[in-house]
A and B are shown apart, each in its own frame.
Chain A
Amino acid sequence: DTAVSQTPKYLVTQMGNDKSIKCEQNLGHDTMYWYKQDSKKFLKIMFSYNNKELIINETVPNRFSPKSPDKAHLNLHINSLELGDSAVYFCASSQGPGGRSTDTQYFGPGTRLTVL
């Protein structure tokens, strides 16, 4: 059973389009995250949600909107896609309330987004 799953695995789209990436975790965790990994492999947090509530919102353009319908799902919607949005996006989850903790974050396999 996949612990943290993401769909789609690959996403190729044109500039200006709107797209969504879905994430689901079956670990019963309370906190979920979105990370962006750029072409140089640098990994940075974008958002985190605890029990459907936003707790971290880094300096991400407001074209990016996370949505958490329930604590097992965290989707990422991106409006008006730009070339610079091309990256690998990772979803992750952890057990506790997030914030400063020793909880392990479990990562999904990633979604490679290519904007043409």
Chain B
Amino acid sequence: AQSVTQLGSHVSVSEGALVLLRCNYSSSVPPYLFWYVQYPNQGLQLLLKYTSAATLVKGINGFEAEFKKSETSFHLTKPSAHMSDAAEYFCAVMNEKLTFGTGTRLTIIP
């Protein structure tokens, strides 16, 4: 069985501060991992994905994530938050299907 756990259903950061959204996975096979973003009243959009190549993955809008097998983690970071980053973020693991975490709502404080 596969699953992802996102720690923190709500995260607030100040504009310009570091964004860190946590994701831990469980998978019986080497995982393929994804981060998606959902802006209000929209569908999901891929931010980045880990496909067992480089462990540090760069995505769109300045986001990146690092795969750490020893910690079973795939945390999402961005050095400097913008107001436009306010959204819901989902971590997901792929086996035969895409299994999503429960999401983290990111709020940016002006």
Identify the A interface with B (CB < 8 A).
4, 40-45, 48, 56, 58, 90, 92, 99-102, 104-110
Contacts and interface: CB of A to CB of B under 8 A. Distances in A.
A110 B103 contact: no
B102 A40 contact: yes
Given A41-B88, A90-B44, A99-B96, A104 B49 contact: yes
Given A42-B103, A43-B90, A90-B43, A56 B96 contact: yes
A101 B100 contact: no
Contacts of B45: 107
Interface string B97-110: 11110110100000
Give the interface size bracket for B toward A.
20 to 34
Interface of B: 29, 32, 34, 36, 38, 41-46, 49, 51, 88, 90, 94-100, 102-103, 105
Contacts of B34: 104
B32 A108 contact: no
B102 to A, nearest CB: 6
A83 B89 CA distance: 27
21 contacts: A41-B38, A41-B88, A41-B102, A41-B105, A43-B103, A45-B99, A48-B97, A99-B96, A100-B95, A101-B32, A102-B49, A102-B51, A104-B46, A105-B44, A105-B46, A106-B46, A107-B44, A107-B45, A108-B43, A109-B43, A110-B41
